Amino acid sequence: MVEQELRDKYEVVIGLEVHAQLKTKTKIFASDRNEFGQEPNSLTSPITLGMPGVLPVLNKECVNMGILLGLALNCEIPSRCKFDRKQYFYPDLPKGYQISQYDEPICVNGHIDINGKRIGITRAHLEEDAGKLVHAGADGIADSTYSLVDLNRAGTPLLEIVSEPDMRSAEEARNYMEELRNIVRYIGVCDGNLEEGSMRCDANISIMPKGSKEFGTRAEIKNVNSFSALQRAIEYEIDRQIEIVEEGGEVVQETRLWDDNSRETRSMRGKEDAHDYRYFPEPDLMPLEISREWVQRIKDTMPELPAQKRARYQSLGLSEYDANVIVEQMGLALFFDKVLELGANPKTAVNFIMGEIAAYLKENHLEITDTKLTPENLAELISLIEKNTISNNIGKQILIEDMITNGEKASAIVERKGLSQISDEGAIKELVQKVVDAHPAEVEAYKNGKTNLLGFFVGQVMKETKGRANPKSVNEILRSIIG
Ligand code: ADP
Ligand code: MG
């Protein structure tokens, strides 16, 4: 660990390269299904296997998704882009090259704003994923001394999103990555699952003396598969580089692997330069012309983006914190939107969603869509509370006891269990009088100044009515009788 004082001498520079697997039905250049978790090598055609003589055919849906993501990241979509071959040898890459985009990518010059700070997006390009090596001992192949190749993932469409070196701390990098994840999920191009590897991140990190304009040499960190690991890896790497520089050494440009168990980065290989890959235009694919009409058609399908959602929620009276929390959980946010569309009071709805519902989901490890609760039923429940048909507490009770588990309508439960609120003044007066008569000692104490006994009396009335009495009327009537 490096002392804070030492850290303060340096400025940190971070740029991220994020790979997002696109949620298409089929692969980017072949008709094999694009699915996770299938029998190894069951999703492989001659194209995916890199057989001689086969030709790639571009999946149009990948281009649609690339344009959509580019627009969401405020990028320009050039009217022409092309594909290139990036050559390298690895057992999970049967062709001996990856089809990618080099100097003419599908998206350029974008940005996103994170907490008021603009992070530039240099480019985003389409490419194919490689297969996967399953090493000795992993994935249930205990004690094996060999590695297996699974090519199901080969040819999965990827968008690689390259940021400008605009981030200045591990926390900023994490916030940027989280927002990117939100964006790809909300626009529906990627499921953003870091653990399954459908979204992956390489972090480029360098340090320079504070005030310097010249960036230091960067190291690239791979193998981070959670947001917290990303933050830890960057923090570790910053300290490692500071120690090297403080001891008079030099940071070398290389690729390092993060090991989340030992919590350190290890050198993996020297960093290749672009010329090492012998890029050249892919001769089997035509350059792609993207008309402005095509871009417009995609623009017209753009759903509300996370930042817009947050702003809308805040304009409805939600706190910044609540708006953030709800947007982070897409299932809940989409549910909340439907409840709002049905005319429910936003504050009441958010109290239920962030309170009882979120707690229930967390405790039972469920998503909202795994439960029987529908937006219609929650909206109806809220309207019963607004109309004083039931109290807020009864509402919470039937929500958790009945609605989430059996999908019943609130009004039906209220009817069946006789839960409607007692608001009739005469009836409440009678109940209050009964409680007052039964507790003369407490009444005496109350009159002698122990005013916090009011809660006791309210509680007794509630107990009598199983929570059905209108608490506001009970309070008023109590005060008028004993006050
Ligand atoms: P490569 O594919 O060789 O890693 P790219 O140019 O595609 O190169 O990506 C480089 C990434 O590293 C970008 O996200 C960029 O912002 C970032 N980067 C470049 N220089 C530095 C630096 N000195 N310190 C930190 N990050 C850097
Ligand atoms: Mg890189």
pLDDT tens for 35-62 read 999 999 999 999 999 999 999 999 999 9
Tens of pLDDT along 167-193? 999 999 999 999 999 999 999 999 999
Q: Does 464 lie in the same domain as 334?
A: no
Q: Does 281 lie in the same domain as 319?
A: no
Q: Does 253 lie in the same domain as 379?
A: no
Q: Is the pLDDT of residue 139 over 60?
A: no
Ligand 1 atom index nearest CA of 274: 3
The CA-based dihedral angle spanning residues 130, 135, 139, 144, taken in that order and rounded to the nearest 10 degrees: 150
Beta-bridge partner residues of 163 = 121
Ligand 1 atom index nearest CA of 166: 16
The pLDDT score that the predictor gives to residue 452 is 87
Q: Which ligand is nearest to the CA of 221?
A: 2
Residues 383, 344 contacting (CB under 8 angstroms): yes
Q: Does 236 lie in the same domain as 123?
A: yes
Ligand 1 atom index nearest CA of 273: 3
Residue 398's domain comprises 304-417
In angstroms, what is the span from residue 273 Cα to ligand 2's centroid? Answer: 9
Decide which of 246, 267, 297 is a domain's last residue: 297
Amino acid present at 241 = Q
The CA-based dihedral angle spanning residues 337, 338, 343, 346, taken in that order and rounded to the nearest 10 degrees: -30
Q: Is the pLDDT of residue 483 over 80?
A: no
Q: Is the pLDDT of residue 377 over 60?
A: yes
Ligand 1 pocket: which of 98, 162, 254, 269 to mutate (most atoms within 8 A of CB): 162
Q: Is the pLDDT of residue 481 over 70?
A: yes
Indicate the pLDDT class of residue 401, thresholds 50, 70 and 90: confident
User: Which among 154, 107, 96 has a CA at the least distance from the CA of 278?
Assistant: 96
Residue nearest (by alpha carbon) to ligand 1 atom 7 = 162
Residue nearest (by alpha carbon) to ligand 1 atom 5 = 162
221: helix, coil or strand?
Answer: strand
Q: Is the pLDDT of residue 258 over 60?
A: yes
Overall average pLDDT of the 57-80 stretch: 98
Q: Does 293 lie in the same domain as 147?
A: yes
List alpha helices for 137-226, DSSP H.
Answer: 170-186
Question: What's the domain count of the chain?
Answer: 3
In the block, residue with structure tokens 């050198």: 267
Tens of pLDDT along 418-456? 878 787 888 888 888 999 999 999 988 988 888 888 889
Ligand 1 pocket: which of 17, 167, 253 to mutate (most atoms within 8 A of CB): 17
Q: Does 367 lie in the same domain as 221?
A: no
The pLDDT score that the predictor gives to residue 417 is 83
Q: Does 431 lie in the same domain as 409?
A: no
Indicate the pLDDT class of residue 352, thresholds 50, 70 and 90: very high
Q: Is the pLDDT of residue 467 over 90?
A: no
Q: Does 184 lie in the same domain as 69?
A: yes
Ligand 1 atom index nearest CA of 216: 23
The pLDDT score that the predictor gives to residue 254 is 92
Overall average pLDDT of the 66-76 stretch: 98
Residue nearest (by alpha carbon) to ligand 1 atom 22 = 218
Q: Is the pLDDT of residue 148 over 80?
A: yes
Indicate the pLDDT class of residue 144, thresholds 50, 70 and 90: low
Overall average pLDDT of the 148-156 stretch: 95
Q: Does 273 lie in the same domain as 137?
A: yes
CA angle centred on 135, ends 133 and 141, rounded to 5°: 115
CA distances from 160 to 95, 104, 126, 278, 418 (A): 20, 13, 7, 19, 58
Q: What percent of the chain has pLDDT over 90?
A: 74
Ranked by mean pLDDT, the top range of 108-122, 263-277, 315-329, 341-355 is: 108-122
How does 265-298 read in b/e, with b if 16+ C-beta sit within 10 Å? Answer: beeeeebeeeeebebeebeebeebebeeebbeeb
Ligand 1 atom index nearest CA of 217: 23
Q: Does 247 lie in the same domain as 381?
A: no
The pLDDT score that the predictor gives to residue 245 is 96
| Residues framing ligand 1 (Cβ under 6 A) | 13-17, 162-165, 204-206, 215-216, 218, 220
Q: Which ligand is nearest to the CA of 86?
A: 1
Beta-bridge partner residues of 134 = 148
